[in-house]
Amino acid sequence: MPDRLRNLARTPTALAAVAALAAVAAVLLPAVPGAYARDGARVVGERRSEGRIVDLTVRSPALGRDAEVRLLTPDGWQRRGPDDRWPVLYLFPGGDGDHRTWTEEYGIQKDPELRGTLVVMPGMPLFGFCTDWFNQGRGGPPAVEGFHLREVLPLLERDYGAGTRRAAAGESQGGFCAVSYAARHPGLFRAVASHSGFVHPLQHPRAVRAGATYLGLDWGAIWGDPVAHRANWRAHDPFHLAERLRGTSVHLSSGDGTAGALDPPGTPPDPHIPGLEDPARPFPEDVLSPTEAVMDEESRALAARLRAAGAAVTTHFYAGTHAPPYWRRELHRSLPLLLQALDGPQRRNRS
């Protein structure tokens, strides 16, 4: 992917921006833990590299193509062990949907805290946004939520030792994935963390339109029109599902879009995305990353809404831009919360 597109893909304005087109139904789906993969999804390739890393190629009817999933296996993990069930941490990628991000950019395979956990890193289409695409009401592939929850999850539980103690986190687009999935499927994850996530799309529908248009994509294919298909937008928007997160520990972090501690001197501003800025509410002059400023507004709005709903939420808001160094730092800040949620008898052996 050209650098310009890769960088934009990692911005939730774009990640929402092209959230890769969205949901067949405006209704909330039932929880899916434990079901077998439907419609013939199956693993057609398996490759081990760097010791604990296993890459799977899944033939996915939901996506209409083959797709990749990377696993970081725990110490003592055995392929298809019938009795071993490991606690699972799902890590969702940014807007480019790259399943390799967490190991190649952030090196999580070196983190000793994760040696007792099965880490699952599913890919998705560019700006797939963890949604079954609306496609002007036609539905059909790619159904990203279907791929992740009704294909990958049961395949891993059936054949790869994944247990039912689950947590999830993500950066940028992936932050939306973790929180939206938890809200749409209460009980699926015990804890979730969003790092610079697009966690309240209806607060900035213009950001969806601007980012998608910038990339030459059909912004209305995501969740439809925000007015005519508002119910579908709400059915995926964590802000409007806050009550459903009462049983899940939630951590939200974001920067304010200004230069922060991890931005090198002379850091340039984000590429200009026409239509992103609201003329009635221009960004402050010191904002280098309008995308991160949008994510900050949405994360703060969701945090307040979760507190009002009686949900357990922690936050970390800081000066900083929409950039990987912050997401690496924030993952480590949130890991104790995520791993504590996976704790229980025999956490390091089975769930």
- Taking the domain 3-342, which CATH number applies? 3.40.50.1820
Alpha-carbon span 351 to 343, nearest angstrom: 9
Alpha-carbon span 71 to 53, nearest angstrom: 6
Find residue 314's DSSP bridge partners.
251
Q: Model-level pTM?
A: 0.88
Alpha-carbon span 87 to 212, nearest angstrom: 36
Alpha-carbon span 13 to 257, nearest angstrom: 12
Residue 327: phi, psi to the nearest 5? -70, -35
**Cβ atoms of residues 72 and 114 within 8 Å:** yes
Is there a cis peptide before residue 284, judged by omega within 30 degrees of 0? no
Cα within 13 Å of Cα(260), Cβ side: 21
Cα separation of the two ends of the chain: 38
Q: Which pLDDT score is estimated for 213?
A: 81
- Every domain of the chain and the residues it spans: 3-342
User: For residue 77, what are its two tokens?
Assistant: 């993990």
Alpha-carbon span 210 to 273, nearest angstrom: 7
Cα within 13 Å of Cα(54), Cβ side: 19
3-state secondary structure the chain: CCHHHHHHHCCHHHHHHCCCCCCCCCCCCCCCCCCCCCCCCEEEEEEEECCCEEEEEEEECCCCEEEEEEEECCCCCCCCCCCCCEEEEEEECCCCCCCCHHHHCCCHHHCHHHCCCEEEEECCCCCCCCCECCHHHCCCCCEHHHHHHHHHHHHHHHHCCEEEEEEEEEECHHHHHHHHHHHHCCCCCCEEEEECCCCCHHHCHHHHHHHHHHCCCCHHHCCCCCCCCHHHHHCCCHHHHHHHHCCCEEEEEEECCCCCCCCCCCCCCCCCCCCCCCCCCCCCCCCCCHHHHHHHHHHHHHHHHHHHCCCCEEEEEECCCCCHHHHHHHHHHHHHHHHHHHCCCCCCCCC
Q: pLDDT per position in the chain (351 positions), as tens?
A: 333 334 445 554 434 333 332 333 333 333 333 333 555 899 999 999 878 999 999 999 999 999 999 999 999 887 555 667 999 999 999 988 899 999 999 999 999 999 999 999 999 988 888 999 899 899 988 899 999 999 999 999 999 999 999 999 999 999 999 999 999 999 999 999 999 999 999 999 999 888 878 878 788 888 999 999 999 999 999 999 999 999 999 999 999 999 999 999 999 999 999 988 888 899 999 999 999 999 999 999 999 999 999 999 999 999 999 999 999 999 999 999 999 999 854 444 444
Alpha-carbon span 331 to 163, nearest angstrom: 22
Q: Is the dihedral of CA 168, 89, 82, 144 positive or negative?
A: positive
Q: Which pLDDT score is estimated for 258?
A: 98
- Surface-to-core class of residue 66, CB atoms within 10 Å of its CB (0-12 exposed, 13-18 middle, 19+ buried): exposed
Find residue 169's DSSP bridge partners.
91, 193
Q: Which pLDDT score is estimated for 50?
A: 73
